[in-house]
Chain A
Amino acid sequence: MEASKLISFFEEDLCIFHLRSRKKISALTEIVHHLALQKRISDERFILDMLKNRENLGSTGLGNGVAFPHGRSLAIKELTVLFARSAAGVDFEALDGKPTHVFFLILAPSDKGSETYLAILSELIGLIQKPAKLKALNETVDFPSLVGIFEGKDD
């Protein structure tokens, strides 16, 4: 999947450029509430419970300031990707113990296989391996600049 194709999964309405929460559960709650406000989920509680369970399996905060909360739920109709950024950082219990600044949330419907979100996860994780892209993600404050990161040249 090309980076420019990857951006097609993102929508301006599903970006939070100034996440307020500083702790893991409150950050997930804020993100899920945003999805509900945008009418992308049928029930906040189901999604939040699923994401909490996923974190209990092992933190999705992979380190380098980036987390990838993800999973499948009956409460979501179609593959949904949300971007969130916190300038101050969130204590997301990341694998390297450092604050998390960038979040990519990926939700897939239960009736679809895990491959629907694994491919996107894989591409996003590949993207953040590039230092310039990671730096830009940490600094992005609007949708056009986020699109530019995906469409711009590699390092």
Chain B
Amino acid sequence: MRQQPSSELLRVENLTKIFQIRHGFSTREFRAVDDAAFTLTAAKPEIFTIAGESGSGKTTLARMVLGMEQPSSGILQYKGRNIADLSLGEKRAWFFKEVQPVFQDPFAAFSPLKKIDHYLYETVHNYKMAKKSETDDYVNEVLQQVGLTLAEVRGRYPNELSGGQAQRMAVARALLTNPSLIVADEPVSMLDASLRMSVVNMFRDLKEQQQVSILYITHDLATAYYFADRIAVMLRGWIVEEGPVEKVLGSPLHPYTQNLKESIPQADPDHAWSSEVDLAILDTDEYTRKGCRYAGRCPHVMDVCRHTEPPNVTAQGRTVKCFLYTEEHAADAAPVQSAVDSSNH
């Protein structure tokens, strides 16, 4: 039972994280991640994007997958084993080797006072990834996977590297333990446009050549569309739409995803916006809202949305959490849908 073979790399089911917020004597519940579900298969590595705005719960979800945060309820399994049940010893010996993080700011991830190759050797030593005499060769081999060489970085301090190089180092450090899953939380949002694509392309190569799955957490839908296979769009703790990236971003169904896609500023004067958007006034309104959390801003809001939580509906090759696509509302929704399309063009 212990090492049950599993075709699933990561299984997330009904995953919920509740934070308690105390105001004096009253305590309020805050559902940062609410009933999230998705699965990554082990057989075929993929890049799975979790996209959302700030406060959507995407980082909390990533921290739970990394074992840094305890889920309040729900299932979170890595290769068939519950992450929450692992002892610290097991985590060190197995889980931390298998699942590695890459964070947003590479310069915050490395101490400015330490030489950067120190982190590589330390990781190899801690996880006993290579014999002492073979360490240099092993480190060099991994660095080449991210487009660097040991000669380039040996003895350097973090400030001597460009943002792109430093982020590559962070990825190289993660790759040293030969992980099956890399959790990358906004890995390119600190990088300049001219360096960003080199790191994004590197992730794509890693997936193809090293067979690493990548959980890519981002607010940037354009890079997600560029290199991800599947995407889950989060809104205030909910996954509102999940499916293949060409479908979800190519022709979004959920009104929120539609709004999100519309709002990406494109560097193309022919794609400038024509319509206006409504913004939420207060941040916290939407978490505590009854019914659908997007009801306050949704252009297609119906009565039922205001008091009942929408179900997850399978429609057009993806899952979408919206009443518009349930059977009883599908008939009403069709004209609304075409109205959106015509107003966008």
Q: Do A and B interact with each other, yes or no?
A: no
